[in-house]
Amino acid sequence: MVNQLFPLTVRGATTRHRGKTLVGPIDLDLDGQGTCVVLGPNGAGKTTLLRLLHGIARLNEGAITWACDQHAAQTSQAFVFQRPVMLRRSVLENLIYPLRIRGVSRSEARDRAERWAKRAGLGSMLDRPATFLSGGEQQKLALTRALIMDPQLVFLDEPSASLDGRATREIENILADTQKTGTRLILSTHDMGQARRLADQVIFMLGGRVHETGPAAPFFENPQTLEANAFLNGDIVE
Ligand SMILES: Nc1ncnc2c1ncn2[C@@H]1O[C@H](COP(=O)(O)OP(=O)(O)O)[C@@H](O)[C@H]1O
Ligand SMILES: [Mg+2]
């Protein structure tokens, strides 16, 4: 896959809400391959950072620059929300819908939807109303609905926040397959095991700022800041 999105350059990016700074100023350079995991305590700004990078949080100040133009960048990215938003229709229709609005024919959309549903282990639930699925199945459906568009980059906000071990493993298996195709992932998680399993790169957020960032292995072995060290030790960091 030709990746036209990266490098991503973020300079002084800031999001405010009613005069309060939620995140920023953020400076980041994202390059290369692999998965970037956003870590940090509750309220650190992980969700807002993902939304800001994806262009769904207001950029009050600064600049976010992709290697391609804004429109191309937007259409080659997908976002999986922490709480999946399902159409009140069947599993199959939930997968067909995003393809249809991008102009894919009904029959091809149906074929692709069936193939992807099977791959995600949802093949036996095609006709079931999506809102009847379990939490884990809904998250798999949300993820599949993002991947079916063949994005170059997928944002995932706490993709397994409320899931049990088995559902988490299934989600991670899908993510691992996705990584192999060269799709970049930027995901937030509070699950340190998941972070260690998936991360090539880490962004550690604190107080709305990037507190520490770099390649995953050195970060986990030898974090450079006291706060990251405390966070990795499971201490409360504010
Ligand atoms: N829509 C919003 N309106 C007002 N404040 C918000 C909103 N979303 C997030 N915040 C605040 O922004 C900060 C960052 O939140 P968030 O990005 O959700 O952090 P995290 O995902 O790391 O828990 C927090 O102080 C939170 O209370
Ligand atoms: Mg969050």
Helix axes 165-180, 135-147, angle to 10 degrees: 10
Please indicate whether residue 15, judged by its CB atom, sits closer than 6 Å to ligand 1.
Answer: no
Output the pTM of the full model.
0.94
In the reported structure, the alpha carbon of residue 111 is separated from the centroid of ligand 2 by a whole-number distance in angstroms of 35
Residues with CB under 5 A from ligand 2 (ion): 46-47
Atom of ligand 1 nearest to the CA of 44: 22
In the reported structure, the alpha carbon of residue 185 is separated from the centroid of ligand 1 by a whole-number distance in angstroms of 21
HEC per residue, 74-91: HHCEEEECCCCCCCCCEH
Contact 118, 110 (CB under 8 A): no
Ligand closest to Cα of 211 equals 1
CA distance linking residue 14 with residue 21, whole number of Å: 7
In the reported structure, the alpha carbon of residue 206 is separated from the centroid of ligand 1 by a whole-number distance in angstroms of 12
CATH topology classification for 8-86+133-232: Rossmann fold (3.40.50)
The percent of residues above 70 in pLDDT, for the chain, comes to 98
Ligand closest to Cα of 43 equals 1
In the reported structure, the alpha carbon of residue 106 is separated from the centroid of ligand 1 by a whole-number distance in angstroms of 39
Strand stretches in the chain, DSSP E: 8-17, 20-30, 35-39, 61-65, 77-80, 153-157, 184-188, 201-206, 209-215
Contact 74, 85 (CB under 8 A): no
Please indicate whether residue 48, judged by its CB atom, sits closer than 6 Å to ligand 1.
Answer: yes
- Running DSSP on this structure, what letter comes out for residue 67? S
Buried (b) or exposed (e) across 187-203, using 16+ Cβ within 10 A? bbbebeebbeebbbbbb
CA distance linking residue 202 with residue 195, whole number of Å: 8
Q: Digits of tens for pLDDT over the chain (238 positions)?
A: 455 899 999 999 999 999 999 999 999 999 867 899 999 999 999 999 999 999 999 999 999 999 999 888 988 999 999 988 888 999 999 999 999 998 999 999 999 999 999 989 999 999 999 999 999 999 999 999 999 999 999 999 999 888 888 889 999 999 999 999 889 999 999 889 999 999 999 999 999 999 999 999 999 999 999 999 999 999 888 8
Atom of ligand 1 nearest to the CA of 18: 4
Please indicate whether residue 38, judged by its CB atom, sits closer than 6 Å to ligand 1.
Answer: no
Q: How far is CA 126 from the centre of its chain?
A: 25
Q: Looking at the chain, how many residues does it have?
A: 238
Alpha-carbon torsion angle 177, 178, 180, 185, nearest 10: -130
Buried (b) or exposed (e) across 134-169, using 16+ Cβ within 10 A? eebbbbbbbbbbbbbbebbbbbbbbbbeebeeebbe
* Nearest by Cα to 188 from 28, 29, 5, 50: 50
Q: Look at residue 2 in the predicted model and tell me its pLDDT.
A: 53
Cα atoms in the 13 Å half-sphere on the side-chain side of 98: 22
Please indicate whether residue 58, judged by its CB atom, sits closer than 6 Å to ligand 1.
Answer: no
Handedness of CA 170, 175, 176, 177 (dihedral sign): positive
Which residue has its alpha carbon closest to ligand 1 atom 6?
22
Residues 6+ apart with CB under 8 A from 83: none
Q: Look at residue 32 in the predicted model and tell me its pLDDT.
A: 67
Q: Look at residue 6 in the predicted model and tell me its pLDDT.
A: 93
Please indicate whether residue 51, judged by its CB atom, sits closer than 6 Å to ligand 1.
Answer: no
Which residue has its alpha carbon closest to ligand 1 atom 17?
45
